[in-house]
Amino acid sequence: MKEFKIAVIPGDGIGVEVTEQALKVLEKVCKKYDTKLNFTELKAGGCAIDDCGNPLPVETLEKCKKSDAVFLGAVGGPKWDDLPGKQRPEQALLGLRGGLGLYANLRPTKVFDELKSASPLKDSIIDKGVDILVVRELTGGIYFGEKGRKEVDGIYAAYDTELYTVDEIKRIAHCGFKAAMKRRKKLTSVDKANILESSRLWREVVEEVAKEYPEVEVNHLYVDNASMQLVRNPSQFDIILTSNMFGDILSDEASMISGSIGMLASASLREDNFGMYEPVHGSAPDIAGMNLANPLAQILSAAMMLEYSLGMSEAARDIENAVDVVLKEGYRTGDIYSEGAKKIGTKEMGELILSNI
């Protein structure tokens, strides 16, 4: 029997409820493949601030480092919104990404057939098919660059710096091209090379790396144009390769195309396949603890973990198929509900997925 150590960070708000469902699914599917997952529950985010005053306790980061993968719910909530920058729950995410070296963030967006009507885009746009993977650089750029406050000509000011090294661009570009090779072999690199020097370097390096993947069709878009193209004709995209901040913005926009952010999973990875898996949605404090949250994004994040970090693609497919079946049968949580469907809660959705594994 195979065994893996999984660091579980339920976090705050609905993170707690949705991870509970996803862990049950993981246990069941792994049993089928004679694999045991040893879960260690850890604190990060708002609950850790309440507990010990630190959004990312040293113990949490250390135990994550010793695990085979990290499975995270969501962090944050209004209770901690007024804290200064370094003490906010979001700092836990940045600390985990940076501390674990997870430089590649994969955010797939697809329109689930059964949920087409949830998309805010017209049928004529969606019908051409939407299946995009945003590959976002996650440990560099303006998120991690030099920042501070100072006086400029006697006036108080603040600054953040966008800086990318050639190596940082290279490794994320390879990740984007490798992903493209497994998909439709089309990669769009997004930058702001008409203005930013860091983007000009980005473009040069992506062009260099592209030579190693002659089968992949490459184009470059400025970020403003890319954000417009995403709603005008999302079917043109396969891989979107971009920087930390542009990826933050474009992945939210892309996720909305599916109309159901409660369905979208994400992975943050490094070369050795170690990764952190979390839903794209946040902690949704307004519905926390009410059995209303959609656990499917968390459950699909579990599938990504099986696929990328644990080498269990078949088990991942089992989960994805179970999700398809349950949607086809017409079961919906409130966020993806439409008339005529069967409305259910978080736990019921978890149970239904379990019974289809």
Enumerate binding residues for ligand IPM (CB under 6 A): 90, 93, 248
Comparison of 248 and 335: residue with beta carbon closer to Mg ion: 248
Return the number of the residue (93 or 100) whose C-beta is nearest ligand IPM.
Answer: 93
C-alpha dist (Å) from residue 104 to 138, 150, 224, 257, 337: 6, 32, 22, 22, 33
- Residue with structure tokens 């630190």? 54
| Residue 143 or 164 with smaller CB distance to Mg ion | 143
Q: How far apart are CB 89 and Mg ion at their closest, in Å?
A: 14
> Nearest CA to 24 among 266, 356, 351?
351
| Residue among 24, 103, 143, 164 flagged as catalytic | 143
Q: Which of 243, 240, 237 is nearest to 202 (CA)?
A: 243
The answer to whether 244 touches 136, Cβ cutoff 8 Å, is yes
Contact window for Mg ion (CB under 5 A) among 177-185, 212-220, 244-252, 314-322: 244-252
- Give the residue at shortest CB distance from ligand IPM: 90
Q: Residue 122 is which amino acid?
A: K
Q: Which of 50, 252, 286, 342 is catalytic?
A: 252
**CA of residue 188 relative to chain centroid, distance:** 19
Q: Exposed (0-12), middle (13-18) or buried (19+): which is 214, by Cβ within 10 Å?
A: exposed
Single out the catalytic residue among 24, 103, 191, 192: 192
Look up 224 and say whether it is catalytic: yes
Active site residue 248: yes
**Residue 253 interface partner, choices Mg ion, ligand IPM, none, CB cut-off 5-8 Å depending on type:** none
Residue 232 — left, alpha, or beta (φ > 0 → left; ψ -120 to 50 → alpha)? alpha
Q: How far is the CB of 122 from ligand IPM (least distance, A)?
A: 26
DSSP 3-state helix, strand, coil percentages of the chain (rounded to 5)? 50, 20, 30
Identify whether 122 is a catalytic site residue.
no
12 labelled catalytic: no
Minimum CB separation from ligand IPM for residue 104, in Å?
Answer: 13
Which lies closer to ligand IPM via its Cβ, residue 90 or residue 217? 90
Binding mask 248-287 for Mg ion (x = CB under 5 A): x---------------------------------------
Interface with Mg ion by CB under 5 A: which range of 98-106, 198-206, 240-248, 310-318? 240-248
Please provide the DSSP assignment of 313-344 as one string. Answer: HHHHHHHHHHHHHHHHTTEE-GGG--TTSEE-
Closest approach of Mg ion to the CB of residue 14, in Å: 17
Q: Give the one entry of Mg ion, ligand IPM, none that residue 324 binds, where binding means its C-beta sits below a cut-off of 5 to 8 angstroms depending on kind.
A: none
DSSP per residue over 126-165, as a string?
Answer: HTT--EEEEEEE-SSGGGTS-EEEEEETTEEEEEE-----
Residue 27 contacts which entry, Mg ion, ligand IPM, none (Cβ below 5-8 A, type-dependent): none
Q: What is the DSSP string of 244-284?
A: HHHHHHHHHHHHHHTT-GGG-EEEEE-TTS-EEEEESS---
Annotated catalytic residue within 123, 160, 224, 286: 224
- 143 catalytic, yes or no? yes
**Cβ closest to ligand IPM, residue 70 vs residue 326:** 70
Q: Which of Mg ion, ligand IPM, none lies near 335, with the C-beta cut-off 5 to 8 A by kind? A: none
Which residues are identified as catalytic?
143, 192, 224, 248, 252
Residue ranges that bind Mg ion, judged by CB under 5 A:
248
